[in-house]
Amino acid sequence: MNENATKVRLIDRRPEIGSVTLCFATTLYLLFVTNRSFWSTAYGDFATDYLSFVLFVIGISAVCMAVVTAFSAKYLTKPFLIFFVLAAAAGSWFTDQFGVIVDKEMIRNAAVSTGAEAGHLITVRFALHMLLAGVLPSLMISWVRIRHRPVLSKLAHNTGVILACLAVFAVVGFGDYRAFAGVGRAHRDILDRLNPFLPITNTIRFAVSSEEDARVVAAPLGTDAHRINTAGLNKPRVTIIVAGETARADDFSLGGYQRKTNPELEKQNVVYFPNTTSCGTATAVSIPCMFSVYPRTAYTHRKGLATENLLDVLSHAKVDVSWMDNDTGSYHVTDRVAYTSLPKSADPRFCKDGECLDGILLDQVDDWLDHVKGDSVLVLHQLGSHGPAYFARYPDEYRRFVPDCRANDFGSCTAQEITNAYDNTILYTDHVVSSVIDRLKQHSDKVAGAAIYLSDHGESLGENGIYLHGAPYIVAPSQQTHVPFLVWVGDDLAKSAGFDMSCMAKQADEGRSHDNFFHSVLGLMDVTTKVYDPHLDVFAACRRTDKVASIR
């Protein structure tokens, strides 16, 4: 009995607090502990208009208090407050450390990440941050006793608090509407870093749209597609597409980067397009957009699912299509063609902890070329330069730029070490793409070959405090949207199809984008269809007149 009485007395000594008071304290914690990036960015957006910024702080704080108070109900208060705190702690880590914005597309990208890929983000510092910023405050919320009013009184009181907060928000908003409207138009992302409210909202939006996406059926595209200009070749026409991952054009020496990151490709007589932009800043957007018929300005995730893509059009033209993946998948691009996931092989020569070096792609190419029977397209999807574990993307013999960051926690490395590790990934990609070209040359007696390399998106390496990728396109830095793009066409294919590669080299500086990819691959494979647009085909302007006319 004495022991039980002691336990009761200890429980009774827990501090008691009103539910709305606890909501207020939690709101203050969320806003002013887990939103450093949000406030610093907003402060910069308001420039020297300090009064408007103060009013902005008051308005945002009021509406956040209203949202949190809406969950102040018996048996719900603590679970929801703890959820808010843990979500905000996690969101603040990625926002503060990497400068990322947790929008709907970032969540989509995270949802398809592999365990190995996600594991690189779980570091000791992340765990410590979650303990201090998430777990300890959650334990405090769990420990205190909440004093609840009777049901009707609580409903009236909470409603009054919520309405008062919304009134403050409205008064502030309308009182300085001109300033807020101006800042909002100039900085459309101003609220995107607000933890945890925007990430939670975006997660709900993603979950709802995913449920709807599961019921989408792709509509046929280019069913009239057929091959032309085949009489001049007595061997199959073969194109190998290397879909790059996280390679930024800024670090390609083919485009003028001071370091020799492309020593092998510089000897391959490739045409490099230095002014190319991506469709998105994350793989889950860029890969399906790149293979879709839609230009970036018209593309949406739903449209990509609801319409067949480039690989389907090639299949309609009786071109054999295969996809070999060393990344996180094809994002439904390969739903109707042959697909192989190479990491599942766990080949010990290339793979470790669920991830493989891109050399595993090269290991498959020779065998694939040996079995080509007719016109064919092979897509090799790289793991490429995906961070933050850049050091895991290249073997030791390509560890040329040193000292390189050997950790997946950027806080453990200097800026130069991070850049060195990233540049080593580009050096290895240079080897992979050049080796693909070499293999096509070695099989030139059996196939008429061509190769295309195009990265899905770029990467930030600390510029303006931003790392990795996935920023909303409207505010994304150029490092995430400026991507490397190159083509190589074998001599026999160039001659038979009328490609003037010297002409292409002269026009390479013109602006290109992922919009060109769909039509350029069709042009390279001499596939004609009503959905082909020669104006977006990078080869069309440099082909013999008779060839251009026939493909149209």
> 49-72 burial string, b = 16+ CB within 10 Å, else e?
eeebbebbbebbbbbbbbbbbbbb
* pLDDT at 114 exceeding the cut of 90: no
Number of H helices, E strands in the chain: 22, 17
List pLDDT tens digits, range 185-216. 778 888 888 999 989 998 998 888 888 888 99
Cα dihedral 290, 295, 301, 304 sign? negative
Omega of the bond leading into 220 within 30 degrees of 0 (cis): no
Contact 526, 237 (CB under 8 A): yes
pLDDT of residue 8: 52
Average pLDDT over residues 476-485: 97
- The runs of H, that is alpha helices, within 291-336 are 301-306, 310-316
Residue 68's pLDDT band, with cuts at 50, 70 and 90, is: very high
- CA-based radius of gyration for the chain: 28
pLDDT at 3 over 70: no
Structural contact between residues 314 and 371, judged by C-beta atoms closer than 8 angstroms: no
| Dist. CA 515–CA 523, nearest whole Å | 14
Q: Pairing state of beta strands 376-381 and 237-244? A: parallel
Helix (H) or strand (E) holding 442: helix 415-442
Q: How many CB atoms lie within 10 A of CB 167?
A: 12
Confidence at 361, pLDDT banded by 50, 70, 90: very high
- Give the three-state DSSP class for 530: coil
Which among 431, 424, 388 is positioned nearest to 403, based on CA atoms? Answer: 424
What b/e readout covers 206-235, taking b as 16+ CB neighbours within 10 angstroms? beeeeeebeeeeeeebbeebebebeeebeb
Beta bridge mates, 16: 145
Structure tokens belonging to residue 138:
């959650």
pLDDT tens profile 226-260? 998 766 678 999 999 999 999 999 999 999 999 99
Q: What percent of the chain has pLDDT over 90?
A: 71
pLDDT at residue 117, as a whole number: 73
CA angle, residues 324, 326, 329, in degrees to nearest 5: 80
Average pLDDT, the chain: 91
Domains and CATH numbers, the chain: 2-212 (no CATH), 236-551 (3.40.720.10)
pLDDT in tens, 410-449: 988 999 999 999 999 999 999 999 999 999 999 999 999 9
Q: For every residue of 166-198, which 3-state class applies, written as one string?
A: HHHHHHHHHHCHHHHHHHHHHCCCCCCCCCCHH
Which has the closest alpha carbon to 385: 482, 460, 485, 306? 460
pLDDT greater at residue 486 or residue 19: 486
CA distance 323 to 240: 10
Upstream peptide bond of 388 is cis (omega within 30 degrees of 0): yes
pLDDT digits (tens, 9 = 90+) for 418-428: 999 999 999 99
Judge whether residue 12 has pLDDT over 70. no
- Number of C-beta neighbours around residue 122 at 10 A: 11
Q: Please say if the pLDDT value at position 548 is more than 60.
A: no
- Residue holding tokens 């190319």? 276
Confidence of residue 547 (pLDDT cuts 50, 70, 90): low
> What does the alpha-carbon distance between residue 368 and residue 376 come to, in Å, rounded to a whole number?
10
Q: What is the pLDDT of residues 303-321, one digit of tens each?
A: 999 999 999 999 999 999 9
pLDDT band for 549, please (50, 70, 90 cuts): very low
Each residue of 123-174: pLDDT tens digit? Answer: 889 999 999 999 999 999 999 998 888 888 888 989 999 999 999 999 998 8
464 three-state secondary structure? helix
pLDDT for 187: 80
Read off the pTM. Answer: 0.88
Q: Which helix (H) or strand (E) holds 227?
A: strand 226-227
Mean pLDDT comparison of 213-222, 393-402, 487-496, highest-scoring range:
393-402
Region 334-349: mean pLDDT is: 94
Which token pair is 540? Answer: 């069309």
The answer to whether 22 touches 161, Cβ cutoff 8 Å, is no
> How many CA atoms does the CB half-sphere of 176 hold within 13 Å?
20
Question: What backbone torsions phi and psi does residue 451 show, to the nearest 5 degrees?
Answer: -135, 140
Question: Distances in Å between the alpha carbon of 376 and those of 386, 459, 510?
Answer: 28, 32, 29
Task: Report the relative pairing of strands 485-489 and 448-455 from DSSP bridges.
Answer: antiparallel
Angstrom distance (rounded) from CA 495 to CA 511: 26
Instruction: Give the three-class secondary structure for 441.
Output: helix
3-state DSSP call for residue 418? helix
In angstroms, how far is CA 45 from the centroid of its own chain? 25
498-517 tens-digit pLDDT:
899 999 999 999 999 999 99
